[in-house]
Chain A
Amino acid sequence: MRHTLSIIVENHYGELARIVGLFSARGYNIESLTVAETLDPSISCVTLVTAGDDRTIEQIVKQVDKLVRVLHVADLTGSAHLERELVLINVTTGSSAALQTVLSLVAQDHLRVAEVMNDGLIIEATGEWKHINTLVEALRPLGIRHIVRTGTVAVSKSPDDKVVKLSVAHLQQHRTPPNPAVPKTEDGEKEIHL
């Protein structure tokens, strides 16, 4: 069964490699993976979609949770949450039938035309992964030239969000390192280590 995990991890060098390495080493599947910072730039949120029976998922959650820099792992599947994926599709619109298909999908609010080119369109759509799959199938006959999907991101509907709590708590407790901090990069931008 498909499971969406939300992994909150300290933004240190190599932590993403550690998560990904764990999955490949133990033979777990990664269907999609996204990573970006949270409210606290020193903490990242990884949304990882995997598949397996209940015992496999339990092991995955425990193994990921065991990683030293992982602050929290939640299996969002089974609890109230919202999933979204973004897709960019470069399609040909050679025939009027093709154009009609696209326009009807636009009318139904399933997608947006992001850019118009001479012989085609770049289509942008967001939705649950199933929705994106359906959309891709609808557009496939038109001739898809390029397609890029972001993979799923997911957010809990719980009023008591662990991610926000953790990042706020982490910000307060660990903002000041005990030893002089690593210098910032020259332009003053924060470093992204993952």
Chain B
Amino acid sequence: MPLMVRQDSSPAAMGREPIPEELRGARILLEGLIREGTDTIFGYPGGAVLHIYDELARMRSRLRHILVRHEQGAVHMAEGYSKATGKVGVVLVTSGPGATNTVTGIANAYMDSTPLVLITGQVPRKMIGTDAFQEVDTIGITRPCTKYNYMVRDVRELAAIVHEAFHLARTGRPGPVLIDIPKDVTAETAPFMPCDELRLPGYRPSHRADERQLERALEKIRAAKRPVLYVGGGIIHSAASEELVRLAEILHFPVTPTLMGLGCFPAAHPLCLGMLGMHGAYWANMAVAQADLLLSIGVRFDDRVTGALDKFARDAEIIHIDVDNSSLSKNVFAHNAILGDARTVINQMLDLLNAEARKLPADRLDPWWRQIETWKTQAPLSYGESIDAIKPQHLCKELDRLTAGEAIIATDVGQHQMWLAQYYGFRRPRQSLTSGGLGTMGYGFPAALGAQLAYPDRQVIAFVGDGGFQMTAQELATAVQYGTNIKVIVMNNNSLGMVRQWQQIFYDRNYSHVDMEWQPDFVKLAQAYGATGLRARHPAELSTVLEQGLSTPGVVVMDIIVEVEENVFPMVPPGGGIADMVLG
């Protein structure tokens, strides 16, 4: 139904202009979501959102609602949807437990700068503060893990708040924004006036970098003899991958992406060193440790990247470009801290460099590249092959081969995540969906499902451990209900592998509660949900099972039994510097 919009509310104009329709708050909310480009909502109904669901039922043709099995799943799906598409993910849940169940996902999205808008129901205004049924202080609980949150106290504010929430979620450093709506507000009516105005005088995301600062940085960049380009999730958020490749090629700089940056620079590109950090490539870490210039773009010097701060890139001039001012010089002092949007700033740099690109002969860095090659030969990524047990690294390589590095893959946190990062060659941005900052078990499967729902025809894989999968496995029902083709690969070592690895190395093999002494049969579990279940135990079966699983239509769970006592190497031990790697 077309909505009539009033342009001018002055009494004189009333005669000429159409009068805006009076709509319920619930409908104003949903019209607002649609105006912001929402096509899919991940949600779960309940008492406080009954009016909203009442409206949703009438809007099936305009808004797809995915009924999840747990609200945490809804948020992770919205994250996966957002990470894969670049759009804002939308979640709708009820008050109380509905809201508290979303907190892990919200915190995860906040750490990884994923734009989300979450709608939570709240008890009616008059009951707020009375410890009413399913009442919780959602605003208070989510304040530290949202970019911003709103309580809607008047239905006439709703349209403006929805517009602002989307703006906040997707601009600057993106993040989750929550809107808490008391039930009676969704029942009240108001004239629906679509809102395009923002009332955010204190919110000014920066775009362009200061030219003089950039000139100073470029002087250092031109003079560098041992440079490294250290890039992360900010490149993906600002869609700067093409520009980054151009910049790296002009400068002939080695590039190392963070975990969140995987795919922002093609893994197979000759300038790509692979991931740096705790389980990064040895030569990438060595290069950073000995660099004389670190050109850092869209990264935040996370502790899993830097290791001991006093040993991190000690001799390097640090140039840090980021859209979030509070990330500049937070962990590592930046000699040149440049505030700005990654893509805009890289383009500014390209403009300044283009005129003199020829003055930067690639061979000026030959000694540095030779040094990097030496490190690479000294300690290549390696693992011991086995004829009895499937090596998890081999599983990742097989997956890369069979999907030609083209799949969208989501992971949880832990060993499987690190092996995939090491052995899967992500080609493009938005292919790797992983829980980086918060390190959330149970993220991978629902996140992959969100991506699959956004791209029904693409190969989307949830690559998870047996521990993490059991945290959100109930979303198999969602996956089957919506007829998806998602493939779940359970890297099953029957234990909490990364914790086991740390107990082995740093706690003298005092294994404490890391063995899964009872597990479900994941093949039967898949079948119970109406999905296909497959299993591989021996290296000889692996390729066949993967090939069969990836090509079987519908939801498929592949239970891949891997070597238990396998560790992720190389590794920077806790407290160690980035170059103090244990190689294996």
Contacts and interface: CB of A to CB of B under 8 A. Distances in A.
A168 to B, nearest CB: 12
Interface string B198-225: 0111110000000000000000000000
Interface in A107-122: none
Given A65-B325, A68-B148, A68-B168, A179 B200 contact: no
Contacts of B330: 59, 62
Contacts of B168: 68
Interface string B310-349: 0000000000000011101110010000000000000000
B20 to A, nearest CB: 11
Given A174-B199, A179-B157, A179-B160, A63 B326 contact: yes
Interface in B155-195: 156-157, 159-160, 168, 193, 195
A84 to B, nearest CB: 26
Nearest to A62: B326
Interface secondary structure of B, over-half rule: loop
Interface in B126-170: 139-140, 143-144, 147-148, 151, 153-154, 156-157, 159-160, 168
A14 B202 contact: no
B326 A59 contact: yes
Q: Which of B140, B148, B195, B202 has the most CB of A within 10 A?
A: B202
B202 A55 contact: no
B197 interface: yes
Contacts, number: 64
Interface of A: 9-10, 13-14, 17-18, 21-22, 25, 55, 58-59, 62-63, 65-72, 170, 173-174, 177-180, 182-183
Q: Which of A67, A170, A180 has the most CB of B within 10 A?
A: A180
Given A68-B147, A178-B195, A182-B153, A173 B160 contact: no
Given A10-B202, A18-B143, A179 B159 contact: yes
Contacts of A71: 201-202
Given A59-B330, A65-B325, A66-B324, A179 B193 contact: yes
List of 5 A-B pairs having minimum Cβ-Cβ separation, nearest first: A62-B326, A178-B197, A71-B202, A68-B148, A180-B156
Given A18-B143, A58-B329, A67 B201 contact: no
Nearest to A10: B202
Nearest to B325: A62
Interface of B: 139-140, 143-144, 147-148, 151, 153-154, 156-157, 159-160, 168, 193, 195, 197, 199-203, 324-326, 328-330, 333
8 contacts: A14-B139, A55-B329, A59-B330, A62-B328, A68-B200, A174-B199, A174-B201, A178-B195
Contacts of A18: 143
A170 B202 CA distance: 10
A11 to B, nearest CB: 12
Contacts of B201: 10, 71, 170, 173-174
